[in-house]
């Protein structure tokens, strides 16, 4: 069962990554920056949907996400409003290897990150070695819209969609 869920997750990532690269690079449009995915992003609550529970709920707060390059990877910071303290801020390497998740508070949870293209990052979270969440981060070809799509391997049809606009 676990192996089947992992394969379903890998298949979903492959398909979504291929779609995203083709979609975002349509008509040969290039990003405005060599690192278009990095920046400060403000959630568009009208376009974002929390569907992890299958109820297509809106997000009750306007999240702010900051992605910044750091030491061969990124710093990922999330706050529930532009003026609140971060809910979390962690760094991750783009090496595809499992690294302890500092948000887990000593639990056996890891994160692995891949930077597939300047406008595409994939993240895999595992608990005790078992995949528990896939996330795909993309940015539009004009560098103005950032999208996060996440799901759990056991229910890949229940995807959270977060849409952000550039705040800086």
Q: Encode the chain (168 residues) as per-residue pLDDT tens digits.
A: 444 444 444 444 444 444 444 443 332 333 345 799 999 999 999 999 999 888 889 998 889 999 999 999 999 999 998 789 999 999 999 999 999 998 887 789 999 999 999 999 999 999 999 999 999 999 999 999 999 999 999 999 999 999 999 997
* CATH code: domain of residue 41: 2.40.128.20
Q: How many domains does the chain have?
A: 1
**Contact status, residue 32 vs residue 142, Cβ threshold 8 Å:** yes
At residue 83, the pLDDT reads: 86
Coil, helix or strand at residue 87: strand
At residue 168, the pLDDT reads: 74
At residue 32, the pLDDT reads: 41
At residue 27, the pLDDT reads: 29
Closest CA to 51 of 165, 164, 148: 148
Say which residues have a Cβ less than 8 Å from residue 15's Cβ, sequence separation at least 6: none
What's the predicted TM-score (pTM) here?
Answer: 0.79
**Distance in angstroms (rounded) separating the CA atoms of residues 114 and 134:** 12
**Full domain range(s) for residue 111:** 2-166
Which strands, in side-by-side order, build the sheet including 99-100?
86-93, 73-79, 64-70, 39-43, 155-166, 145-152, 130-139, 120-127, 109-117, 99-100
Distance of CA 50 to the CA centre of its chain: 14
């Amino acid at each position: 069962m676990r192996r089947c869920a992992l394969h379903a997750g890998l298949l979903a990532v492959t398909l979504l990554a291929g779609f995203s690269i083709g979609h975002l690079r349509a008509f040969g449009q290039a990003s405005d920056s060599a690192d278009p995915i990095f920046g400060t992003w403000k959630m568009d609550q009208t376009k974002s949907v929390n569907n992890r529970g299958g109820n297509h709920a809106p997000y009750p707060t306007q999240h702010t996400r900051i992605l910044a390059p750091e030491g061969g990877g990124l710093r990922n910071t999330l706050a529930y409003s532009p003026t609140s303290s971060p809910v979390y801020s962690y760094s991750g390497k783009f090496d595809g290897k499992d690294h302890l998740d500092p948000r887990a508070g000593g639990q056996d949870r890891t994160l692995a990150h891949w930077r597939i293209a300047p406008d595409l990052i994939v993240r895999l979270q595992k608990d005790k070695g078992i995949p528990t969440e896939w996330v795909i981060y993309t940015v539009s070809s004009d560098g103005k819209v950032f999208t996060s799509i996440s799901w759990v391997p056991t229910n890949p049809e229940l995807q959270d969609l977060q849409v952000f606009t550039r705040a800086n």
